Each structure stands twice: as structure tokens, then as C-alpha cells.
Amino acid sequence: MPRFAANLSMLFTEAPLPERFERAARAGFMAVEIQFPYETSAEELQQALFCNKLSLVLFNLPAGDWAAGERGIACHPERVDEFRQGIDPALAYAAALGVPQLNCLAGIRPPLVPADTARHVLVSNLRHAALRLKAHGLKLLIEPINTYDIPGFFLHGTRQALDLIEEVGADNLFLQYDVHHMQRMEGDLANTLAANIEKIGHIQIADNPGRHEPGTGEINFGFLFAHLDRIGYKEWVGCEYKPSSTTEAGLGWLKH
């Protein structure tokens, strides 16, 4: 059975963020991930991790104005400086919290920016970020996201992500494979995972439709979890889903 990390931006949201760590530990999780930690002090998060004997395994680089609908700025030509300046606080949080990897959200391509220009900017930013992270012993991840949930998101397929990784040429750049997003865009989850397992640094899960917990939709997670064991996946699996009721009520899948 894979090792599961609770995504505290999606789970246990009935409680304020600092209290979610205790709830995750009580539910049996040994690790957590957070989409964006920056609104809570690193010291407070560090204390929550320590008190609950949890590891923080992932968070995202700053991704623009999330509340205004931005979903990353790494492909935006006019915001290269902003993207690169955002690496500094991310590295500071990573050092304080012992995080081994950071995810970069490519963003929605601006409507007047040609696709080849967006790609060039993204490749340049990824090279810069990967070099900065490598100096601190960290992995950089890129995540394809489905364009049904986020129309216009620039990075939306596994092959596209793998081609970017090859072009960037950094040995600490890996794929973050979100099962929900790729089920919507591509399907063929098992074969894709098996073919690319060496390039996958992190996996996230949610069922489809609805992005709820495993067992609420069409994905055969019992098969998929056994498949991850068979193909030798040893990293964490992040539970980044929207509970269909309360988080605790929907955790039955974790006990099977």
C-alpha cells in the first residue's frame, strides 16, 4: 500500500490550518502537504509538524493572486521577475519545514501570448528554479492540470510535461502526476504511470467526477494502489481531494 499524505488545503478544512495537523495525525496520516503555506508563519507550521510527528512533503511555489483566479505565473512573459523573486520565500519555508520538493504551477496562458512564447518563458523559469532548488538539495516538480477545471492552463498533459523536463535538462526536475487531472485529460492511468515512473516525483489522488475521495467515482483505486506497489513507486501519494461530506466521514477508503 502506498504512503499517503493529507493535503491540508483540501482536507480537514472545518478547522483552521494549524489545527488540521492534529486532525491529520489522529486520522493516521504520517505526512501532509499544503498548497500554499505563506499566510502562516514558518514557526507556527514547524511547531504543528513537530507536535504531531508529521512530515511536510510538498507545497507550491508562489503562484500569483490565487484569490483573483490566477493559477501560476511561470509561463507569463511580463512576470518573470515576480516568479523568480517568489523562489526566495519558498526556499526559506522549505528550509524551516524540511520539505524535500516544491511544485511549480505553469499558469494560464495569457490570451495575447503565443504558445511558443509561453513555452520559452516556462522553460527559462524552470531552468532558473531548478538550479536554485538544486543548491538546497530540493526537487522541483511540474504538474499538468486538466483544462475542464482550469480553462487555458498551459501545462495539461503528461507528454507535454515530459517534453518540458527533457528540454529543461535539470536532473532535479520531475513530474507531479495528479490522477484526477490526468483521468480527465487522458485516461490510461496505469500504463502512463508504469511507463514514466522514474520521472514521477509525486502523485496526487482524487476520484472523478467531482474530485472527491477515492471510491466516489469511476477510478479503480484498489487496483491503482496495488499497481503503484507493483511498479515500485516509493514516494508519497498526496490526498488532494474535496471531501464529499466531512473529511473524517470520507476516510473509509484509507482503511481498506
Q: What is the pLDDT of residues 1-25, one digit of tens each?
A: 999 999 999 999 999 999 999 999 9
pLDDT above 70: percentage of residues in the chain: 100
Q: What is the CATH number of the domain that holds 190?
A: 3.20.20.150
Predicted TM-score of the model (pTM): 0.97
Average pLDDT on 172-178 reads 98
Average pLDDT on 119-137 reads 98
Asked if residue 223 has pLDDT above 90, the reply is yes
Report the chain's mean pLDDT, rounded to a whole number.
Answer: 97
Task: Please report the pLDDT score of residue 186 as a whole number.
Answer: 97
Average pLDDT on 116-142 reads 98
pLDDT above 90: percentage of residues in the chain: 98
Q: Give 88-116 pLDDT, tens digit per residue.
A: 999 999 999 999 999 999 999 999 999 99
Would you list the DSSP string of 176-230?
A: EEEHHHHHHHT--HHHHHHHHGGGEEEEEE--TTTS-STTSSS--HHHHHHHHHH
The Cα 140–Cα 59 span in angstroms is 11
Which of the four pLDDT bands, split at 50, 70 and 90, describes residue 255?
A: confident
What domain count does the chain have? 1
The Cα 27–Cα 1 span in angstroms is 17
Q: Give 193-204 pLDDT, tens digit per residue.
A: 999 999 999 999
Cα separation values, 120 from 37, 76, 80, 158, Å: 28, 10, 12, 18
Active site residues: 143, 240
* Full residue range of the structural domain in which residue 243 is found: 3-255
Asked if residue 256 has pLDDT above 90, the reply is no
The Cα 241–Cα 35 span in angstroms is 12
Which of the four pLDDT bands, split at 50, 70 and 90, describes residue 48?
A: very high
